[in-house]
Every structure is written in structure tokens, then in C-alpha cells.
Amino acid sequence: MREPIFDIFMGESEKDAIWLESIAGLPDAKQRMEQYAAKNPGQYFIWSHATHSILDRVNTFSQRESLADSSAAAS
């Protein structure tokens, strides 16, 4: 039996998320998403085609980065 395929995205699901790759098996997809997040802080999520839903997400922006981003946007 084949493991289901999951897509990993960077960004917000409600906006223009960027597809990164497809991974077989949820544990492997979660591990890969964490690797992306550790290397490049941001928002990431795992999408399931089977359930048409987000199964997991991570946000590794630090408090400082988030505040700096919102300050720059307000300027």
C-alpha cells in the first residue's frame, strides 16, 4: 500500500502560498516542514489532497521579526 502524498507550502494559506515540494507520508512531511522552517524562518503548512485540508502548520517568525514587519508595513 502506498503512503499518501502531502504538499508543503511556505506562506499563509489564505494568501499567495508558495509550493515547496510533495512528500510521501505525514511524519516525513512534518519533518521536512520543520527543516524548511529551521533554515528559513516563516510560516509553513502541510496540505492533504485526500482531505482537502491543512493538517499541520508552523510559524517560526520571532516576535522581533513580526513586529519589525508590521512596523515597516505601517510606514
- CA distance linking residue 41 with residue 47, whole number of Å: 19
Mean pLDDT, residues 3-7 taken together: 94
Q: Under a CB-based contact definition with an 8 Å cutoff, are residues 6 and 29 in contact?
A: yes
Entry pTM: 0.78
Grid cell for residue 20: 515547496
Mean pLDDT of all residues belonging to the chain: 84
Classified as helix, coil or strand, 20 is strand
Would you place residue 57 in the very low, low, confident or very high pLDDT band (cuts 50, 70, 90)?
A: very high
Residue 22 clears pLDDT 70, i.e. is over it: yes
Number of domains, the chain: 1
Mean pLDDT, residues 14-40 taken together: 94
Cross-strand partners of 43: 59
Give the domain range for residue 39: 5-74
Res 62: pLDDT: 58
